[in-house]
Every structure is written in structure tokens, then in C-alpha cells.
């Protein structure tokens, strides 16, 4: 049998109650990180996450694209 070798060989495991799990899922959604492993590593190593609101930029990009199409 051919075993897959991972870059990270140490496994962490923890339990959470429903409220904690909900909070974790909400924070993951707010950051846009879908991988729990990536989110947990970032939070445990750095102690913070960054959320960037680009809605204004995306809105302006849409207006700019429409302007280019009409000229």
C-alpha cells in the first residue's frame, strides 16, 4: 500500500461545545477561509486573523467595467 506523506506530521485534536463551534465557523466565514486546518494554524500561530472589506473596490470595478463596455 502506498501511504501519502504529508508536509505536516503532527496531529492536533480538540473538542468544542456548540457555541464555540458556531463562533469558530462564523470567524472562518468572516475571513473567507474554508479550510479548518489553515484557519486553526493561522489563529494558533499568529493569534489573529485579518478581514478585508473590498466591497467598495468591487463596486467601483463593476462601474469601471460597464464604462469600458459602453465607450
The rounded percent of the chain whose pLDDT value lies above 90 is: 28
pTM: 0.56
Higher pLDDT, 24 or 55: 24
State residue 71's pLDDT score.
59
State residue 66's pLDDT score.
64
Mention every residue, 6+ apart, whose C-beta is less than 8 A from residue 67. Answer: none
Do residues 41 and 69 lie in contact, with contact meaning Cβ atoms separated by under 8 Å?
Answer: no
State residue 57's pLDDT score.
76
Amino acid at each position: 500500500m502506498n501511504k501519502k506523506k504529508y508536509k505536516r506530521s503532527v496531529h492536533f485534536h480538540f473538542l468544542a461545545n456548540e457555541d464555540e463551534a458556531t463562533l469558530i465557523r462564523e470567524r472562518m466565514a468572516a475571513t473567507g477561509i474554508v479550510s479548518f486546518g489553515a484557519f486553526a494554524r493561522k489563529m494558533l500561530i499568529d493569534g489573529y486573523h485579518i478581514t478585508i472589506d473590498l466591497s467598495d473596490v468591487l463596486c467601483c470595478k463593476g462601474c469601471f467595467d460597464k464604462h469600458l463596455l459602453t465607450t
